[in-house]
Amino acid sequence: MRKATQLLASIVLLSAFASAHAFSDPTVYVTEQGKAYHKKNCTLKHGSTGMKLSEAKKKGYKPCKVCKPAT
């Protein structure tokens, strides 16, 4: 019974970690010519394409100074 409880606790912890990780990489918006990533409602994101925050950072984009998206 103790091993079953430990196994269940491990599954719950892994599940919580997986869920937290999925939400920690939001979609941000970038333009071909721009150097910043933006929130969905930013007024400066005209003609933008969505991508994951981690990808935008890898490509060298910086957070928009107007909409201040997640960093």
Closest CA to 49 of 68, 65, 33, 25: 33
What residue spans define the domains of the chain?
2-63
Better-scored residue on pLDDT, 53 or 18: 53
26-67: pLDDT as tens digits:
999 999 999 999 999 999 999 999 999 999 999 999 999 999
Its pTM stands at 0.66
The predicted-structure confidence for 2-14, as pLDDT tens digits, reads as follows 766 666 666 766 6
Cβ(50)–Cβ(29) below 8 Å: yes
Q: What pLDDT does 52 receive?
A: 98
